[in-house]
């Protein structure tokens, strides 16, 4: 039996906008694994797609969590958590930690992940993640279906495998993952760098040669 060939549906030459009801369509977003722990209990991981940077000085971020999630009360009671960036090698674990509850399973054990000690908080990071952000909750803001946890980043722990001999951190070589419209994607082709649209070109290298 021959396998069916699935053809990509191309957009029409002349497309038009279609209005939908209000919904969460701000994509892509980072998929992160948030680790937390009550003292004397097993650590837990919750996958969060609604996370973002909110301030640079002091360094702050936010995560949004439903009240019924197992990690919600752990984070609210302890006032701390770690945000762990996700790579292509962690995608399966990331998805698992988003669809299974810590009430029923030990996610670290099930996904063969390693808790690591972080300098500023008691909650562990994830050893296999390239970046672990140690966070302290400064405000919990009820919004509706989710509560927003605003947190200060107390410290950042990085994987030395992505450091070169000049101590430059090559995070974009770790295979970072984003989440868009129900699917996970590895970051792909570089299109530019910050400020490239206004950066001046080198006239010496691009200018025309003078005629003799």
- First-to-last alpha carbon distance for the chain, in angstroms, is 71
Buried b (16+ CB within 10 A) or exposed e, 94-122: bbebbebebeeeebbeebebebbebebbe
70 or 25: which leads in pLDDT:
70
Q: How confident is the model at residue 201 (pLDDT cuts 50, 70, 90)?
A: confident
Q: Which CATH class is domain 29-190?
A: mainly beta
Q: Map residue 97 onto helix, strand or coil.
A: helix
Contact call for residues 181 and 102 (beta carbons, < 8 A): no
Q: Provide the mean pLDDT of the chain.
A: 91
Q: What pLDDT, on the 0 to 100 scale, is given for residue 8?
A: 54
- Each domain of the chain, given as residue ranges in start order, spans 29-190
Confidence check: pLDDT of 5 > 60: no
Kindly state the average pLDDT of the residues 89-105: 97
Confidence check: pLDDT of 25 > 80: yes
Q: How confident is the model at residue 160 (pLDDT cuts 50, 70, 90)?
A: very high
Confidence check: pLDDT of 198 > 80: yes
Structure pTM?
0.87
Q: What is the pLDDT of residues 38-81, one digit of tens each?
A: 999 999 999 999 999 999 999 999 999 999 999 999 999 999 99
12 or 125: which leads in pLDDT:
125
Q: What pLDDT, on the 0 to 100 scale, is given for residue 204?
A: 52
Q: What pLDDT, on the 0 to 100 scale, is given for residue 212?
A: 47
Contact call for residues 151 and 61 (beta carbons, < 8 A): yes
Q: What pLDDT, on the 0 to 100 scale, is given for residue 169?
A: 94
Kindly state the average pLDDT of the residues 171-193: 95
Half-sphere exposure of 72 (CA within 13 A, CB side): 15
Q: Map residue 54 onto helix, strand or coil.
A: strand
Angle, CA of 6, 8 and 10, to the nearest 5° = 155
């Amino acid at each position: 039996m021959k396998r069916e060939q699935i053809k990509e549906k191309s957009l029409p030459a002349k497309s038009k906008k279609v209005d939908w009801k209000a919904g969460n369509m701000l994509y892509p977003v980072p998929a992160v694994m948030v680790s937390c722990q009550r003292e004397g209990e097993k650590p837990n991981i919750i996958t969060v797609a609604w996370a973002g940077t909110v301030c640079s000085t002091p360094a702050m971020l936010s995560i949004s969590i439903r009240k019924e999630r197992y990690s919600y009360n752990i984070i609210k009671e302890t006032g701390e958590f770690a945000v762990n960036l996700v790579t292509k090698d962690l995608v399966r674990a990331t998805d698992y930690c988003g669809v299974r509850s810590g009430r029923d399973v030990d996610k670290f054990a099930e996904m063969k992940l390693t808790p690591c000690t972080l300098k500023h908080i008691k909650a562990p990071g994830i050893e296999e993640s390239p970046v672990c952000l140690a966070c302290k909750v400064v405000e919990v803001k009820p919004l509706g279906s989710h509560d927003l946890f605003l947190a200060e980043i107390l410290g950042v722990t990085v994987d030395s495998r992505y450091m070169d001999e000049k101590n430059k951190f090559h995070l974009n070589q770790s295979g970072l993952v984003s989440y868009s419209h129900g699917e996970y994607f590895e970051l792909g082709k570089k299109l530019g760098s910050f400020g490239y649209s206004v950066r001046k070109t080198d006239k010496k290298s691009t200018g025309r040669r003078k005629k003799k």
